[in-house]
A and B are shown apart, each in its own frame.
Chain A
C-alpha cells in the first residue's frame, strides 16, 4: 500500500464515518431522552433516500400512504384519549393535524409536476412525507410503553424495524436507487479528488454534531430534555411533558435519518434494507460514545468508517470479521475507562 492509496482509503472512511456519525447522533439523542435503542433509525435513511428517488422519477411515493395511515392511527389514539378525558372539543384539532396534514401532503404530491421541481424542492417534499413518521411512530409504538424496561423497548424497536423493512420492500421493490448529487463540483487536493457531495456530507455532520452538543450541553431546554431520561417526573415538574419530549426527539431523529439518506444516496446505491447495516455501524459508534457523549460517538463513527475502508482493502472477504473483532478491544477500553458501579436499572 502506498501513501496515495492510504489517503484515498482515509477519505473514503471519513465520508462513510460522517454518515455513521449522523446516525450515531440520532441514536444517542433518542436513547438519552427515551431509553429506546432506535433500531429503525436506518429505515429512515432508506425511506428518505428512496422517497426522494421516487419523487425524482416522477412516481408518487408510497410512503405518503404510510403517512396517512400513521396519521389516522394517531388521530384514533389521541381522539379516544381526548374522549375518555372528556375533552371532546379537542377532537377537531386532533383530526386536523393528524389527518389533515397527510391529506395536504398527498394533494401536493398529486398536483405538483414532480420531475420538473428543483432538487431542493424535491428534498423538501421528501422531508414533509418522511420526517413526521418519526413522531407518529413515537406516539403509536413507544408512548404507550414509555415506562417499560430497556429490554422491552429494544424488542419493540426491533419489531417496528421488521415491519418497516417489510413495508419498504412493498413500497420500493428489491432493487436499489441513486439520486442526483447536491453538488457536481469536485476539487483536486494533492493526489485526492474530493467531490462536492463528500464535502456536503462531512460539513453536515460536523454542523449537526456541534449544534447538538451545544443544544444539550448549554441550553436550558436541552438540559431539560436530557433530564427526562433520568427522571420523567422531574422533567414534568420542569414543565416538559415526557410524551412531548419523546415526539420531539423522534422528530429530530427522523430528520437526521432522512438527511443522511439524501446525503448518501448520490454516493452509493440505497436499497429498501440498506438501513440496517448502516444503522448498526452508527449504533457501534453510539455505544463507543457510551450512548451519552456526542463527540465520542462521532469519533467512534469515524473509527468504524476507517476500519471498514482499510479492512476492505486488506482482506475484503473478512471485512466484517475484522471490523467487528477490532471493535471489541475498543469496547473493553471504553468499559474500563468509563467506571461506574454496576447497579440496578
Chain B
C-alpha cells in the first residue's frame, strides 16, 4: 500500500508538472449531500455550465462534495491546493464550511470565491481574507430590503422564526440589527430544524405575540412548514420569507398557503420581469437559459446563480492575471487575486460586481429586488 501511494504521488507530480502550463485549474467543494444539499445540488449542476475556456486557456474543474460538513470542506480544500494544485477555489455552500476554509486558502495563497452568505467570510478584509471573495449578497443587504418594505407598509412588530443552524442564526443577527435601527420590534424569536415534522409550538408562540408580520428565515421547501402551520392556525397577515426559498419546489410544496408571501431576492429570480434597461437583466437571462436548457424549464434556483457568478468573475479576472503569469504558479494565483480585487462593474446573474481592497463582495442595491408570490409565481414588486 505504501508503495502504491508513493507511486500514485509520483505519478501525480509528473502529471501536475506536465500539465501546469496547459490549463487553468479550478477546485470546487460543494455541499451536494447532507443538510445543505438543496442548495448544493443546483450549484454543482451549474458548475457543468461554467466556461470551458477562458482567454484561450482550457479550464478544468475538480469538483468535490463536502456533505455539508466542515471537516470535509477543509479536507477538500487541502486536497485541492496540495494535490490538485488548483489556481482558484470555489465554494463551499454553507457559511461554516466557507469560514473553515479561509485559513487554508490564505496559507496556500490561493484565491477563494465562497458561495455562502455570512458577511464574516469577507469582513474585515485582513491578512487572511485578502484571499477570499464571495458572490452571495450579505444577509444585511437582504435585510435592508425587507425592513424598508416593512417600514413603508406600517409594520411595527415582527415575529421571527429561523432554521436552528448557521442560516437562521445569520439572518436573525443581521435582521435584528437593521430592524431595530429602524424602530421595528422583534416580538418573538423562534427556531426550527429542517426535518421537523411540526412547528405548532413555535407558531402558537409567534401568534400569541400578536405581531404585524411574520418573518420566516429558512431555505428551500422546509421553509414552507411554518407558513402552512400559520395558515392552519388562522394567520392572515403578512408573511416575509428570505431568498433561500427562491426555487420552484417551494412553490410546489407551499401551494396556495404561500399566496402573497414577500421576499427579497437576487434579480435572477424575476429576470424576465426586469425592465430592459436593468444592467443585470441580460446577464441573468444568460444563466437562466443555460440552466434551463440543461435541466428543464422552471428548474433554475438562485443558489445555482451564486455559483454561476463566480464563473463570471473568473471570466472577468483571468485574462488580466494571464498577462502577468502562467496558471499553476504562485505568481498567477497572486495576480488572479489582484485581478479579482480590481474587478469593476462586472454584471452577473445576481448583480453588478465592483470589488475593492476593502470590499470583497462588490454588490450594491442592484443586487436585490423585492418579490411577491402571486398566483403561484414570483412577481417583481415595483
Contact = CB atoms under 8 A, between A and B. Distances in A.
Complex contact flag A–B (Cβ < 8 Å): yes
Interface of A: 5, 8-9, 12, 15-16, 19, 166, 169, 173-178, 264, 267-269, 271, 273-274, 276-278, 308-314, 316-317, 319-320
A313 B207 CA distance: 11
B56 interface: no
A162 to B, nearest CB: 11
B205 A269 contact: no
B6 interface: no
B164 interface: yes
A313 B222 contact: no
B201 A311 contact: yes
Interface stretch (B149-157, B191-199, B319-327, B336-344): B191-199
B247 interface: yes
A302 to B, nearest CB: 14
Interface stretch (B33-41, B101-109, B134-142, B265-273): B33-41
Contacts of A15: 198
Given A268-B196, A276-B195, A320-B193, 6 more contacts: A5-B208, A8-B204, A267-B198, A309-B198, A313-B202, A317-B164
B220 interface: yes
A177 B197 contact: no
Contacts of B191: 316-317, 319
Interface in B210-231: 220-222, 224-225
Contacts, number: 98
B225 A268 contact: yes
Contact of A269 (B37, B41, B222): B222
A312 B33 contact: no
27 contacts: A5-B204, A9-B200, A15-B198, A169-B33, A169-B37, A173-B38, A174-B40, A174-B41, A175-B220, A178-B253, A264-B197, A267-B197, A267-B198, A268-B197, A268-B225, A269-B224, A271-B222, A274-B197, A311-B201, A312-B201, A314-B201, A316-B164, A316-B190, A316-B192, A316-B201, A317-B164, A317-B191
Nearest to B301: A175
B222 A312 contact: no
Given A174-B220, A274-B195, A316-B191, A12 B247 contact: no
Contact of A176 (B35, B193, B198, B221): B221
A312 B199 contact: yes
Contacts of B192: 312, 316
B123 interface: no
Q: Is the interface of A mostly helix, strand, loop or mixed?
A: helix
Contacts of B208: 5
B249 interface: yes
A175 B38 contact: yes
A23 to B, nearest CB: 12
A159 to B, nearest CB: 16
Contact of B195 (A177, A277, A311, A312): A277
Given A178-B253, A269-B222, A269-B225, A313 B204 contact: yes
A316 B195 contact: no
Interface residues of B, number: 33
Nearest to A175: B249
Contact of B200 (A12, A19, A178, A311): A12
A217 B260 CA distance: 55
B195 A12 contact: no
Contacts of A314: 201
Contacts of B221: 175-177, 269, 271
Contacts of B247: 175
B201 A173 contact: no
Nearest to B202: A316
Contacts of A312: 192, 196, 198-202
Contacts of A8: 200, 204
Contacts of A269: 221-222, 224-225, 253
B250 to A, nearest CB: 8
B220 A268 contact: no
Nearest to B42: A174
A58 to B, nearest CB: 13
Interface in B21-51: 33, 35, 37-38, 40-41
Nearest to B234: A193
A275 to B, nearest CB: 9
B227 to A, nearest CB: 11
Contacts of B194: 271
Contacts of A176: 220-222, 224, 249, 253
Contacts of B220: 174-176
Contacts of A309: 198, 200-201
Interface string B56-69: 00000000000000
Contacts of A311: 201
Nearest to A15: B198
B36 to A, nearest CB: 8
B32 to A, nearest CB: 9
A306 to B, nearest CB: 11
A185 B196 CA distance: 25
Given A169-B37, A175-B38, A16 B197 contact: yes
Nearest to B31: A174
Given A175-B253, A271-B195, A310 B201 contact: yes
Contacts of B222: 176, 269, 271
A257 to B, nearest CB: 15
Closest 9 A/B residue pairs (Cβ): A312-B201, A313-B201, A174-B37, A174-B38, A175-B249, A176-B221, A12-B200, A317-B191, A268-B197
Tell which of A5, A268, A316 has the most Cβ of chain B within 10 Å: A316
Nearest to A271: B195
Contact of A16 (B33, B198, B204, B250): B198
Nearest to A19: B197
Contacts of A264: 197
A82 to B, nearest CB: 39
B33 A166 contact: yes
B35 to A, nearest CB: 8
A177 B198 contact: no
Contacts of B193: 277, 319-320
Contacts of A16: 197-198
A320 B192 CA distance: 10
A312 B192 CA distance: 8
Nearest to B207: A5
Nearest to B38: A174
Nearest to A20: B197
A319 to B, nearest CB: 7
